[in-house]
Amino acid sequence: MLIDLHAHSTNTKDCFFDPHDVIQNGKKAGLDGCAFADTDFHEDFEELKSFGKENGMAVLFGREVCTSGGHLVAFAPDYRSLSSLPWESGSEPPKPEDVIEHINKIGGAVVAAHPYCREHEHNMGDGIFSLKGLAAIESENAARGKMTNDLAAEAAFSMQLPCCGGSDAKQTIEQIGAAATLFKKDVASETELIAELKAAAFWPVKVGDFPPKEERGYGRRDERGGRGRDRRGGSDHQYGGMRSDSAQGRPFDSTQGRPFNRAQGGRGGDRRDGQRGGRGGGFRGGNRDRGGNR
């Protein structure tokens, strides 16, 4: 099941998409569902769920929380429990640790959204390594550039956390579904979504090609005072949505330094032919099955 796990609408201050249009465009893009991650609560969430059902789309809801240490997407078994959050009465953004603790306490799940994006006032960056209790890390964000996503994937690999994907579209509605998450099982509710996130039975998928935003301030990790090595041991290039080792000519896997999910399978690939059978990604010469095998 293919779900855009990071959709926005007019309930986010810098987005002007009608949520009904988001659902319909997601359907046109070949999605099976979308999860709204707006910063404000959707009072009309039940009507939108019904609209999604009429259009053959699972419509889910979470909230993106802007913390003092980056952005988090929170999902709860009962979306209504996210209508009023403990930290919203304060004048300062909450600490990411407090958000994760609260959401996990109510039986929810938390995803780290674009942790290496530098366009926001409060960045997460390598601070992600100090966070406990995350369900996943967003490593395919269609609104962010390649380096931002690659650093997120590397962090997920180091932390042994699964990767997910979402469009995070706010400027161009056609970008809905440009990145998504492929779930092994069907997901029809927030409760089922949380269960699947905790089971780590999903893969991030890049769908099509969109020009990335210009990267700002990023170099190699050794130039940033990081872990002192070139990423993944050498130069690599994009090929069909997966990475290919330029020296060996084969895709990375968990034994080659590729940030695979804990569940079997990989980071996914892009879907260029528009056929639903190819949504697991893979090489242009052949699709992979849902288990990640060619």
pLDDT band of 263, cuts 50, 70, 90: very low
pLDDT given at position 213:
53
Q: What would the pLDDT profile of 26-80 be if each residue is shown by its tens digit?
A: 999 999 999 999 999 999 999 999 999 999 999 999 999 999 999 999 999 999 9
Q: Give the CATH number of domain 2-206; options: 3.10.105.10, 1.20.140.10, 3.20.20.140, 3.30.70.330.
A: 3.20.20.140
pLDDT band of 207, cuts 50, 70, 90: confident
Whether the per-residue pLDDT at 146 is higher than 90: the answer is yes
Pairing relation of β-strands 179-183 and 2-7?
Answer: antiparallel
pLDDT given at position 209:
54
Q: What DSSP line would sit under the chain, residue for residue?
A: -EEEEEE--TTSTT----HHHHHHHHHHTT-SEEEE--SS--TTHHHHHHHHHHTT-EEEE-EEEEETTEEEEEE-SSGGGGSS-GGGGSSSPPPHHHHHHHHHHTT-EEEEESTT--SSSS--GGGGGG-----EEEEEETTS-HHHHHHHHHHHHHHT--EEEE---SS-GGGTTSEEEEESS---SHHHHHHHHHHT-EEEEE-S--PPPPP-S---TTTTTSSSS-GGGS-EEEETTEEEETTT-SB--TTTT----SSSS-S--B--S--GGGTT---TT----TTS--
pLDDT band of 281, cuts 50, 70, 90: very low
- Return the domain boundaries, the chain: 2-206
* Higher-pLDDT residue of 80, 220: 80
Stretch 87-116: mean pLDDT: 95
pLDDT given at position 272:
38
Whether the per-residue pLDDT at 255 is higher than 80: the answer is no
pLDDT band of 123, cuts 50, 70, 90: confident
* Higher-pLDDT residue of 139, 222: 139
pLDDT band of 231, cuts 50, 70, 90: very low
pLDDT given at position 90:
80
pLDDT given at position 8:
97
